């Protein structure tokens, strides 16, 4: 029988080579908002429009999302590395990660980061625990893409424990 710790380490090492986009999952309304950097995001269905995210059960974002039952995901552009770092833990869980970050409320009141490539405002339709995570399925109630100078921006990517950019023209 294999050592579970070595399997976890091998899986962790292998996942470093899965290139993914970077987004911010955020929840709350008014002055009580919080968010975190995510790479566990995927389109689940187009009819009805649903997305899937996974959050660590020990985070403030998870706690607030459980309470609000709604969230927004902003997909970051390649120039938003610092924002990703802030929400990935550069600013602690107990502090205001939105201080100094431009955002506006979604239809549901969830924060949408300005300058992102796209956003999805969602209500939770299902959630279930998976190890130290909870998988949230959100039905998209509003979505958008930029019509400003960010319309030609490229996505921020994460690969092998570092931020990357697409070099090819889109």
Domains of the chain and CATH, by start: 20-161 (2.30.110.10)
- Nearest CA to 123 out of 104, 144, 109, 102 is that of 109
State residue 66's pLDDT score: 94
CA distances from 100 to 94, 104, 113 (A): 16, 13, 11
Residue 153 has pLDDT above 90, yes or no: no
Q: Which tokens in the block code for residue 25?
A: 């999952």
Rounded Cα–Cα distance for residues 46 and 50 (Å): 6
Beta carbons within 8 Å of 162's beta carbon, 6+ residues apart: none
Kindly report the backbone phi and psi dihedral angles of residue 111, in degrees, each rounded to the nearest multiple of 5, phi listed first: -70, 135
Per-residue pLDDT tens digits for 129-151: 999 999 999 999 999 987 655 56
The C-alpha atoms of residue 157 and residue 145 are separated, in whole angstroms, by 18
Q: What is the pLDDT of residues 35-74, one digit of tens each?
A: 999 989 999 999 999 999 999 999 999 999 999 999 999 9
The Cβ of residue 56 has, within 10 Å, a number of other Cβ atoms equal to 14
CA dihedral of residues 159, 129, 55, 18 (deg, nearest 10): 10
């Amino acid at each position: 029988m294999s050592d579970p710790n070595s399997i976890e380490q091998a899986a962790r090492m292998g996942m470093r080579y899965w290139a993914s986009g970077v987004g911010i999952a955020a929840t709350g309304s008014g002055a009580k908002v919080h968010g975190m950097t995510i790479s566990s995001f995927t389109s689940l269905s187009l009819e009805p429009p649903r997305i899937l995210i996974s959050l660590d059960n020990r985070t403030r974002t998870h706690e607030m999302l459980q309470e609000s039952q709604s969230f927004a995901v902003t997909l970051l552009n390649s120039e938003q590395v610092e924002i990703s770092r802030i929400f990935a833990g550069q600013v602690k869980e107990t502090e205001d990660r939105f201080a100094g970050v431009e955002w506006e409320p979604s239809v549901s009141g969830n924060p949408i980061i300005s300058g992102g490539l796209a956003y999805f405002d969602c209500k939770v339709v299902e959630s279930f625990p998976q190890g130290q995570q909870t998988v949230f399925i959100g039905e998209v109630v509003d979505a958008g893409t930029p019509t400003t100078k960010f319309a030609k921006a490229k996505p921020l990517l994460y690969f092998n424990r570092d931020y990357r950019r697409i070099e090819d023209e889109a």
